[in-house]
Structure 1
Amino acid sequence: MKQMEFGDDYHRLEGYYINRLIKIINDIKPSKRQITPVVWQEIFQNGFRGDKSTIIHVWKDLDWQSVVKNITKTGYKVLFSAAWYLNYISYGDDWKNYYHVNPRDFGGTKEDAKLVIGGEAAMWGEYVDDTNLFSRSWPRGSAVAERLWTDEPPNMTDFIPRVKELRCRMLSRGWNAEPINGPGFCPL
């Protein structure tokens, strides 16, 4: 850090590292493939303003709307998972929380919203292992999938029968899936 005259500024070191890494990736990519760098949101928040082809992954839940707005107004594309961590432990039909999130509804312009190019549901392992991975993932994952599939406003009247049917199909095929909204049944 001394040699580069960064002093004690970790963010400058990180920015230097990320910019070098992206340059290396761009220099070695095969001609028939496009390799697009993706970095965590902290890289942007710590001052990264490098290659505009870089996608910024917004994964932290707190105040994600302002983070997405700040990133898109500088012209970077966003991959979103901030509000879609399936491993969070809660009681009841928490999948509704996932269903009502629209990652393009962050208060930016229509052009900025187009820079939100996709998202993912995430699952980490603090309270998840092979005994509950699938049951924790479904139907929560269905709610995320629906939000990524359409920009239409959430419509619980239409969604609930579809997700109930999906759950029954999963159960009939031997896949564990949590109840949608309390006790229910699957027709034979």
Structure 2
Amino acid sequence: MTGDADKSDKSNGAIILGWWRANLRPDPDTGPARGLRARLRRATHVVDVLAEAQVIALHDALGRRHDPTRLAALVPVLAAVKRPDGPRIARAVGGEEPRLSHLRFQRLIRSDNQELALGLRRALPLVDHTCNVAALGEDFLKWNERIRVRWCFDYFGKMPPDASDAAPETEETT
């Protein structure tokens, strides 16, 4: 029973980061980890990813509350990350001199699952394969309009407005 309580106490991002450190980039880097990364990067079908025991273990660690096809799209992206301690990916590729063009960024935030995964895998080399793995994993699994909006603000290096601040501005303008 305590295992279930521990799962609920940890965020999805923390679970994903712990899994990444244990399976994809263990210290020291091992042959099995290199092999897993290679298999995941080469995977072309959902079942290729889900056929890995470590991926099923991640699904179980997340409490089985996520769509396995979405998780299967995320895991090859995680396999392409070399350092997990960078900024959020949208902030890393954006800014005053963006590394990812505005048009490619727009295409990225409009995409879902496999297209999103492909766009992220193409963006990672632009930031030396470094990003916040926990945030990336959490955002990918929950990918929705609120996250897309935050990514837009991150891309331009701005803080998103607080939803509670938006209401008074609307009232003043009416």
**Relative contact order (alpha carbons < 8 A, sep ≥ 6): 1 or 2 greater?**
2
Higher CA-based Rg: 1
Q: Does TM, normalized by the shorter one, top 0.5?
A: no
Higher helix share: 2
- TM-score scaled by length of structure 1: 0.30
How does the TM-score come out when normalised to structure 2?
Answer: 0.32
